Each structure stands twice: as structure tokens, then as C-alpha cells.
Amino acid sequence: MRRILLGGALSAAFAAGLLLAPDARAQDSLKIGVLATFEGPFAILGEDSLRGANMAFREHKMMAGGKKLDIITGSSDASPESAIKAARKLVEQDKVDILIGPLSGDEGLAMRDYAKTQPQVTFINGTSAAEPTTLIDPAPNFFRFTTNGVQWMAGLGSYAYETKGYKKVVTIGEDYSYPYTQVKGFMIEFCKAGGHVVDKFWTPLGTKDYSSIVASIPDDIDAIYVALGGADAINFLTQYEQAGGNKPLIGGSITVDQSVLSAKGKRRDYLIGTPSAGPLADNWDDPKWKAFVAAYKQSDAKAFNSPTLFSHGYYIEATAMIQALDAVNGDLSDGHKKFREVLSTQVVDTPTGKVHLDHNRNAIGSEFLTEIAAGEDGNLYNKVVKVIPDVNATLGVPEDEYKKTGLPSREAPACP
Amino acid sequence: MSAVAEVLPGVAPRWLRPVLTYVIAAVALVIYPLIVPDFWAFQIGAQSLFLGVISLSLMFLGGYGGMVSLAQMTIAGVAGYLIAIVGGNSLNFGPLWPWWAAVPIAIAGGTLAATLIGVISVRTAGIYTIMITIAIAMAFFYLAQQNYTLFNGHSGFASILPPQILGLDWRSPIPFYFLSLVVAVLSYALVLYLSRSTFGIALQGIRDNARRMRALGFNVTAHRVAAYAIAGFIASFGGILLVWFNSRISPGTVDTGPIFDILIIAVLGGMRHPIGPFLGAVIFVLLENFAIDFIDRERFNTLIGVCFLAIVLFSPDGVLGLWARFVALIKSAGAANRMTRRPIGDGNSLQPAASGRFIQGRQ
């Protein structure tokens, strides 16, 4: 009973904590929130994304538009709920001026809705790549300088149909928004070229046993489109090979990574010629990209051999923000009006080519079509087949017509 | 139990102290959201309150019934999913009934689920109860994750908002805080009342010695199932507030992390009084929000873990145990003070008598 008093005492403690909370907003510095997944299944990727953002901040000596950048980090566990909680803390408690993030697709959708309730803050995406974030009901203060999961597939569908000659394929992917988006990106071009997707298999994230799916893959197909990532991809490929499967593969943006490329024996020969597509390619022969890779490797002792999609994405977003802040001399006093205008119209020169925004504030940028090849040393690598510049959010299809294919889901789009 | 009013003796007569405590607490809880920024009212205040409510249901089961159930978050999740499916969501899936139909259905559904879980698990005890309830909780998680016809799989439901009643948007920070506060106070009062009712006393008897209670003619199983049902009723309210707070629900809401969070909150606060879970929730929410500011971003979960370990290590009874010890310390210090102020002769005269008794005892 008397413990209720404790509740009161604690409330008072809250109030006291508030008074202590720093709220001095120096005019010569800007508060920037960086939100990524420092916990949960994507913790490693979250750390790498911050590495990318820090590269951009350090390149500009932690300054933008003549003001010091005051970086505050927030952490989510890749769930939309945790992303919003972290964003709320950064925006409402720490009072950041600009928020960069989040990392994954569903988080981005939630952030779009949250951005609408906080018009005084400018939100810049991290690497979240869900299509509806900017295509459907976009927030006027949410900007995305990285391309989305549909755009990452640019060129792959037509390449598979025309160059590779695959007419009938099945797809397999994890059962959530990101693989839906990837399958859609592949099918937009593949179906338009005349191909058929006979069946789609969706498996829960983290599935270990693919035997029932391997058994139900029909015989009369030309290839399998695999949108699985990480351990799921390895498990599927191993089990498919052990069951005697020999159909050629087509890979999603995160399917063919170093662990797949290090395959030995029969599977190594079988993988050669597998096409995939994405927003970056490790082995691109461009001097600017090479300089970026070298800078990335030097930035942190724990950095990977080559930047991931996540450090690359956060680097681009942070660079875009700094460039726009420089253009307005760090002046956000007009309710970010000029700053947002510059963001919407500027062209950003990134390690992977030029990027600018469309009318929904989604990036128009370059994509890479790659194919697994054997190098001179015998190791497999992703050879760049083609760099496709200026890929827009609808892959060149007029927006009205594009929207008719429906939002990416288990069923949509369809061309059986 | 001693508390603030007894630490400061002489402030008020004995009969007035509990009343005074309630009044101070009520004033503090009502004024709190009005003087702090929205972030503190909504994310810290309201979240502590409804997490406290869900954890309170575990405290009721564990503290009075001796049954530690890890399925309380699952029950909250059942109620949350029901309010999403029945009451409308961004997909416009389900019958889209108004809140006054959806809320009772969600509460009834959650209570029913809790009763079923109770029926299944009451015949086990101790670690086996924990095992069977976590098995049920994981089964529900995988069902929600893989079922698309009802639960919409991995994505779940979004845009689940509280109704607009009396011209108020009940999701804006201050109204939502007061909504959570009302639910929290009512749940707290219910648990406190039940703990002193015949049912509650019988439940505590069953906790301490089930066999003896059975011999006395009590239906042990029925009492335990009823306890599960009541705990489920409370957890369902917490679940609805949780979903309205996030405005969404997905399988992640009922995954292992949140399931254990509820246990952690109850253990942190202390399981021997219904205020414990609320104290635990406040500490939990503050740590979750601010640990990242105090320590390197890669290590902030370590800080949270160390705080939990420290509290549990130094006080197996959670914060409540720490408080009880603090009060005992003050009291004994006070007593010692009174001892030293006594005339020396008094102390001396005690000694022969004491040793006399000692000798007598040996004889």
C-alpha cells in the first residue's frame, strides 16, 4: 500500500532526470541521429552501416555547412516497433535536427508513418529498401538516396530471358517483404520479356530443411530464381545439390555472397554463370569505387574486405545530407525548407555513380548486373556484366501502369 | 511492510499514513504527464504502466499462486491480435467492428486463451510449468509467423489505433498516459483485493502446501485454473494497450525476447507485492531507452544485463527486497540510537539479569 508512495517518488525522479537532460542547443552545431540495428539478427550489418556513415562524417571533418555535426546513435533490433521507439527517443528526447536511418525494409515503412507526425525533422533513409516507403503515400520529409529492392534487380529479368535463354522459372525466397520486393523486381522485366514464373516458394526466415521444396520443384523449368540470403541460401543450395538438382540459378542481391562463392568441387562449376544484380559490385573496375573500398578498409580495424550494401548505403545518405547542408550553409531556421529543396534537386556523386531523387523523393541511381565467373587464380567472383545508370523506381515503366502490378506480396506480380 | 511514511516517523498519526501515501502517489502520477515533455509521458510513462500491467499478471500467478508462466506475453499477444483482426487495421482485414465490440472480444479471447493454457499447465509444477508455458508461447509465435489467412504472417498488422472518444485522440501522449494509468490502477487494485479475498488466501495456501489444502477440501486445480484466467484477463488489457502504443502487432511482439522481458520486469521489481512489476517496468524502460547514451553503442546491452544482474544478485526479491532492507536498516539504526541514549546504569543493570537467565536456562 505505502509502496504507492514509491511510484510517486519515482515520478519525481523522472522529473528530476528531465531537468538534468541536456537541452542546450548550441547554434553552431547540428544534431544528427543515426539509427541502425546494433542488436538482433542484423547487429553485424548495423555496425557496418555506422562505419559507412562515420566515413562520410570524418571525410568532412565532422562539419557540414560550417557547423559541427553532433552525432547521436540509436539502436533497433530490425523490428518496426523498436525502430520507432528508438526514433522517438532521438527526435523527441535528444531533439535531433536530421535523422538518418533505418536499416531494414519494414522499419522504413514504419518510419515513413512516423515522419509524418514530426514535420519539423528531416528524415533521410538508411538502407531500408521496401518499395511502398516512397511509392505509396510518401512522407514529404522522408528522403531516400539509396535505391530500393525492386531497382536492385534492374536488368536481371531481361538478361535471364534474352541472353541466358531462360523461359520458365520458379522462385524461392524467405516469406517477408524484402524477398517479395526482389521477386517483383526480377519479374517486372522477366514477365515483360515473355518469361513465365511457374511457381513461387516462400519459406520462413531461418528455415533449415528445404527437402519438401526441393522435391516439389518441377522438372520442366529452365532456372531457379533464389532470393534467399545468408545461411538460408547456403542451406538451400547444399540440399538442392545433394538431391541431384541441376537447374541453373539466378541470384537476388544478397544471395551470392562470399560464403556462396567459396564453394568447392562440383558445386563450384555449377555456380559459374549464375547472374545476379544489386546496387554495388565488389569487383567493379572503377577508380572511384576502388578508392572507396580502400578508404573503407582503412576506416576501421574491424571492417570487412569490401564494403557491404549497408556501409555503402549509409555512406551515400550521409554524404547527400552533408552536401545539402553545405549548400544551405547549415541554415535550417526556415523549418528546413531550403534544405529539403536542395535535397530534392541535388545530384550526389557517389562511389557507384550519380544519384538524384524523383518526385517521391526516391533515388534514381546506378545498378550492377553481375555474373559468377572463375578468376585467374581459380577463385569464383562476381564479374560485372553491365552497369545500368539512372534506374528509376518503376524500372522505366510509366508510374500509373506500374502501380497496377500491385504491391510486392506473396502473389503479386504473377505471370504463370 | 514499512515504507516512506514509517521512515519518517512522527509526520502523521499511524491511521493517516496509508491514506497519505495514496494521496501523494495519486497526485504525483496525475501531475507527472502534465509537467514533462510528451516523450516522457508516452514512451517512458505509458510504456512502463502497460508493461507493468502485463508483468503484474505474472506476479499474481507467480507471487500468490507459485506458478511462473512464461505465456503471459502470449496472452497479451492473443488479445492484441484479436483487437487488430476484429477492430480494423491497415489491410482492412476482418469485420472492422467498432472499439466497444472489439475490446470486449479481445479481452474475452485473451482470458479464454489463458484459461486453456491454465488447464494444460496446472498439473505441472516448478520448472515444468516454465517449460510447458514457453512451449505454448513458442507454438503461438510460429503459428502467427506462418499463418497468412488469419495472422498475416511475418508482417502482422499495422495502423491499429485507439478510438476517438469524447473528441479526444486517445493515442496522443497525455490521453494515452491516463488510459494506461486507469488500467494500471484498476489492475493493481484488483490484484490487491484478490490477494486478501478468500480466493487469494486459498491460492496462497495452495502455493505453500497444495497437499494440505487438498486434504482440507479445496479444489486445487480449479483454484489454479481460475488464477490463470484472472491473470489472463489482466494481461489482455496490457496487450491491447501495447498494440495501441505500437499501433501495430507482428510475430515479433510475441517472440522470445518480449516473453522474457516480462519475466525480467517481474523479477527486477519483486514478486511479493503488486507494486513490484510497475517498479520493475520503470527501471526496464529507462534502461532500454537510455543505456545507449551512457556506454559505447556496441556494449549498451551489456550495461542493461549488468544492472539486472546487480539487482538480482544483491536482492533476490528485486527492488522491493532492496527497499525492505533499506527500511529495516533505518529502523535498526534508529533503535541503536535509542539504545546509546539510555543511561549507562540502565545498561549495566540489565547484564546480571541476562546472565542470570542464561545460567537458569542451562540448569
Domains in chain A, please, with CATH? 28-147+287-361 (3.40.50.2300), 151-278+367-403 (3.40.50.2300)
Comparing CB atoms, the residue among A2, A38, A81 nearest residue B4 is: A2
* Percent of chain B topping pLDDT 70: 88
Q: Is B275 near chain A, with CB under 8 Å?
A: yes
Closest CA to A125 of A138, A111, A106, A136: A111
| A224-230 mean pLDDT | 90
* A66-86 pLDDT, tens digit each: 999 999 999 988 888 889 999
Closest C-alpha to B226, from B65, B19, B56: B65
**Span B337-354, pLDDT tens digits:** 665 554 444 444 334 333
Question: Are A1 and B35 within 8 A, CB to CB?
Answer: no
Contacts of A110 in chain B (CB under 8 A): 158, 248
Residue A73 β-bridge partners: A34
Cross-chain Cβ contact A1/B22 below 8 Å: yes
Is the pLDDT score of B324 beyond 90?
no
Q: E-strand spans in B132-175?
A: 164-165, 168-169
**Between B21, B159, B278, which is nearest A5 by CB?**
B21
Inter-chain CB proximity B25 and A7 less than 8 Å: yes
pLDDT tens-place string over residues A275-320: 999 998 888 999 999 999 999 999 988 888 888 889 999 999 999 9
In tens, the pLDDT along A8-60 reads: 454 555 444 444 444 444 468 999 999 999 887 788 889 899 999 999 999 99
B3 chain-A contacts, CB cut-off 8 A: 2-3, 5-6
Please tell me the pTM assigned to this model. 0.83
Q: What is the dihedral of CA A107, A109, A112, A115, to 10 degrees?
A: -40
Residue B263 identity (one-letter amino acid): L
Mean pLDDT, all residues of chain B: 85
Report CB contact under 8 Å: A14, B248.
Answer: no
Q: Among the listed ranges A70-79, A152-161, B310-319, which one has the minimum average pLDDT value?
A: B310-319
Test B297 with A3 for CB contact under 8 angstroms.
Answer: no
**Residues sharing a CB contact under 8 Å with residue A400, sequence separation 6 or more, in sequence order:** none
User: Residue B357 above 50 pLDDT?
Assistant: no
Q: Is the pLDDT of residue B10 over 80?
A: no
Integer Cα distance of B343 and B333 in angstroms: 18
Taking CB atoms and an 8 Å cutoff, what residues of chain A touch B305? none
Read off the pLDDT of residues B173-220 as tens digits, 9 standing for 90 and up: 889 999 999 999 999 999 999 999 999 999 999 999 999 999 999 999
- Predicted complex ipTM: 0.77
What digits encode the pLDDT tens for the residues B12-53? 677 777 788 889 999 999 999 998 888 899 899 999 999 999
Does residue A165 have a pLDDT over 60? yes
pLDDT band at B114 (very low <50, low <70, confident <90, very high): very high
Contacts of B246 in chain A (CB under 8 A): 80-81, 84
Rounded to an integer, what distance in angstroms lies between the CA atom of residue B79 and that of residue B81?
6
Look at residue B95 and tell me whether its pLDDT is greater than 60: yes
Q: Tell me whether B5 touches chain A (CB under 8 Å).
A: yes
Cross-chain residue pair B246–A81, CB shorter than 8 Å: yes
Interface of A with B in 64-123 (CB under 8 A): 73-75, 77, 79-81, 84-85, 88-89, 92-93, 106, 109-110, 113
For residue B5, pLDDT beyond 70: no
Q: Which chain B residues are Cβ-neighbours of A114 within 8 angstroms?
A: none
The verdict on A15 touching B (C-beta cutoff 8 Å) is yes
- Residues of chain A in contact with residue B323, where contact means CB-CB under 8 angstroms, are 3, 6
Between CA A75 and CA A108 the distance in angstroms is 14
Architecture of domain B36-344: Orthogonal Bundle (1.10)
Considering only residues A125 and A405, tell me which one the structure prediction assigns the higher pLDDT.
A125
For chain A, the helix, strand and coil percentages under 3-state DSSP, each to the nearest 5: 40, 20, 40
